[in-house]
Amino acid sequence: MSSVVYFDTNVFDNLIKKTGGVTEADETALRAAVSSGRVRIVVSHINILETFAAFKRRSDVARAQLLLIVSLSDWDRFAKYSSSILEDDIKHFAFNGERANTPYEDGRQAAHVRSVLQGIIDGQIGIDKLELVISEDRDHKTRFRVMVNESKAEIATKLEELRALGDIPSFEEFFEENVEEYVGAFVDTFDSGEACKQRGLAKMLKIPSIRALIGVGMSFMYRINAEKKSPKSSADRDIQHAVCAAAAADVFVTHDEELSLLLRRVPIRGLRVIRLRQLLDAVTANCR
């Protein structure tokens, strides 16, 4: 039996640099698990774009990281942009009360992306030729921010009201009491929002991408407003990774402890959040 696993970009970085407790033996074990089909690694546009950003600092490391991504990933499971996953799920739910048919890009798009990456790795395509890709990412990031900003503002307001009353609940209580309200506010920003409400917000919250978006957004805002933790500059990217992982995989592997905390306390059925070593230990145990 194979596990479908989404890798946070920091895991690829640790594999290349052998940092974060990752060893040569871990990489060997991971490659064996991928070759045997016991692990199928999902990546997204976000992993690739974060790696592109590293070219300005260390082009040799970034190129090696792209090679690792190309060699380890299951290209039949190349995740769409998080904004596209969400839009597809919302439209599909409004139409028939179910999530979209797939969170993955079609084969032609995945093959094109893989070909471009191989061209960069081989030195046939310069990173300066990727402005169109980077521009497309800006568009998706803008759409994604529009999706979450209104919900973030409402969550912050609610928490400040509770703080003023001296009645800050636990995150679990805050989530259960308010999650339907926030998903309702979120779908109101779409033309199909009313149709989604008619089909039932509780049912909609069972869709992994929606639950991840709203849940991690609530967790993030609770962390800032109730637990007084300074926000991370990468928060938008973290939520994008969470949406892709929830929609496209069974396991999310990350070495970002803050993101792990934010995501683990959101009950998302079917998704485990673990470190690479935990994944490898589980794979080894299943082989015995």
Mind listing the pLDDT tens digit for each residue in 137-190?
556 556 555 655 656 667 777 777 777 767 788 999 999 999 998 899 889 888
Q: Which carries the bigger pLDDT value, residue 64 or residue 2?
A: 64
- Per the listing, tokens 């900003």 go with 149
What local confidence, expressed as pLDDT, does residue 136 receive? 57
Q: Which carries the bigger pLDDT value, residue 251 or residue 236?
A: 251
Residue 244, pLDDT above cutoff 80: yes
Residue 37, pLDDT above cutoff 90: yes
What local confidence, expressed as pLDDT, does residue 160 receive? 77
Candidate from 8-12, 224-228, 280-284 with smallest mean pLDDT: 224-228
- In the three-class reduction of DSSP (H, G, I as helix; E, B as strand; rest coil), residue 250 is classed as coil
Stretch 231-241: mean pLDDT: 81
Cα dihedral 155→170→183→261 (10° resolution): 90
Query: Could you tell me what percent of the chain has a pLDDT over 70?
Result: 88
Residue 58 backbone dihedrals phi, psi, to 5 degrees: -145, 90
- In the three-class reduction of DSSP (H, G, I as helix; E, B as strand; rest coil), residue 277 is classed as helix
In 3D space, the residue among 69, 71, 63 whose CA is nearest the CA of residue 10 turns out to be 69
Which residues constitute the domain of residue 137?
Answer: 3-286
What local confidence, expressed as pLDDT, does residue 288 receive? 62
CA separation for the pair 146, 144 (Å, rounded): 5
Residue 64, pLDDT above cutoff 90: yes
> How many other CB atoms are there within 10 angstroms of residue 208's CB atom?
24
Q: Which carries the bigger pLDDT value, residue 119 or residue 57?
A: 119
What local confidence, expressed as pLDDT, does residue 70 receive? 96
The answer to whether 171 and 221 have CB atoms below 8 angstroms apart is: no
> What global pTM score does this model have?
0.89
- Mean pLDDT for all residues in the chain: 88
Q: Which carries the bigger pLDDT value, residue 251 or residue 60?
A: 251
The answer to whether 285 and 40 have CB atoms below 8 angstroms apart is: no
- In the three-class reduction of DSSP (H, G, I as helix; E, B as strand; rest coil), residue 98 is classed as coil
What local confidence, expressed as pLDDT, does residue 233 receive? 66
What local confidence, expressed as pLDDT, does residue 18 receive? 96
What local confidence, expressed as pLDDT, does residue 131 receive? 56
Candidate from 44-48, 219-223, 241-245 with smallest mean pLDDT: 219-223
What local confidence, expressed as pLDDT, does residue 216 receive? 92
In 3D space, the residue among 250, 239, 246 whose CA is nearest the CA of residue 40 turns out to be 250
Stretch 28-48: mean pLDDT: 95
Q: Which carries the bigger pLDDT value, residue 244 or residue 156?
A: 244
For the chain, the domain total comes to 1
Write the DSSP symbol of residue 283: H
Q: Give the pLDDT confidence of 110-136 residue by residue, as tens digits.
A: 999 999 899 999 888 876 666 555 555
CA 155 vs CA 90, 107, 152: distances in Å = 21, 39, 5
